[in-house]
A and B are shown apart, each in its own frame.
Chain A
Amino acid sequence: DAKTTQPNSMESNEEEPVHLPCNHSTISGTDYIHWYRQLPSQGPEYVIHGLTSNVNNRMASLAIAEDRKSSTLILHRATLRDAAVYYCIPSNNAGNMLTFGGGTRLMVKP
């Protein structure tokens, strides 16, 4: 599995954009990059995934570096409900197994 490096925690102000970085320098050429988040006392929740191109959905945007060794999850306007642990996960080629690391704890201030 590709190893990932994420900051342990980040802070943001409500209504401001948030950029959550992830380094995955050992990612293989066919691994997807998944982002999940876990709100307090809940199971993880899918946010977004991509392979090479930048991706957008209703929750967030995913910017993938050209060399695929890093990616950034972008929340365009953080809300208090976005306070969660965000996990960056390159997928396993053997299937769709996900290996969760420590993630980034995002705190959103009103």
Chain B
Amino acid sequence: DAGVIQSPRHEVTEMGQEVTLRCKPISGHNSLFWYRQTMMRGLELLIYFNNNVPIDDSGMPEDRFSAKMPNASFSTLKIQPSEPRDSAVYFCASSLQGSAYEQYFGPGTRLTVT
């Protein structure tokens, strides 16, 4: 298995531009998570999906952030418009549903907004 796949690995954009991050979870996993990591705030859960349905988006910072999961093998996290304070590493993770199952993380997307 290729593991969780994220693209792009690095993204540099200017303030005000739209950014779309992509994630392909591990086949067969039915939970998907988006996290953000910064030096100041550490690793934060933004949103998670079960069976393609958003369950908890309380971690999404504001309306500029949106996430979708149109099918079991693909999810996107969009920031529109982007701001410098959105600069961070964004991780996607997937797992089988249930608290006893481990999450598998992707390599992350390093976003820099100038």
Across the interface, A46 reaches (CB within 8 A) one of B99, B103, B108, namely B103
Question: A96 to chain B: which residues have CB within 8 Å?
Answer: 31, 95, 97-101, 103
Across the interface, B104 reaches (CB within 8 A) one of A31, A46, A92, A98, namely A46
- Report how far A25 CA is from B107 CA in the complex, Å: 32
CB distance from B8 to the nearest CB of A (A): 15
Residues 72-114 (chain B) with a chain A CB within 8 angstroms: 91, 93, 95, 97-108
Q: Which residue of A lies closest to B50 (CB)?
A: A95
CB distance from B53 to the nearest CB of A (A): 12
Binding site for B on A (CB under 8 A): 31-32, 34, 36, 38, 42-46, 49, 51, 87, 91-102
Q: Can you list 8 A-B contacts (CB < 8 A)?
A: A32-B100, A34-B102, A42-B107, A49-B102, A51-B100, A87-B43, A96-B101, A99-B45
Chain A residues touching B, majority SS = loop
Q: Which residue of B lies closest to A93 (CB)?
A: B99
Most buried by B among A43, A87, A98, A102: A43
Question: B42 to chain A: which residues have CB within 8 Å?
Answer: 100-102
- Report how far A31 CA is from B99 CA in the complex, Å: 8
Question: A98 to chain B: which residues have CB within 8 Å?
Answer: 33, 45, 103
Question: B98 to chain A: which residues have CB within 8 Å?
Answer: 95-96
Question: Is the Cβ of B102 less than 8 Å from the Cβ of A95?
Answer: no
Question: Is the Cβ of B50 less than 8 Å from the Cβ of A46?
Answer: no
CB distance from B61 to the nearest CB of A (A): 16
- Report how far A34 CA is from B103 CA in the complex, Å: 10
Residues 22-48 (chain B) with a chain A CB within 8 angstroms: 31, 33, 35, 42-45, 48
- Report how far A96 CA is from B106 CA in the complex, Å: 17
Question: B12 to chain A: which residues have CB within 8 Å?
Answer: none
Question: A49 to chain B: which residues have CB within 8 Å?
Answer: 100, 102
- Report how far A58 CA is from B34 CA in the complex, Å: 28
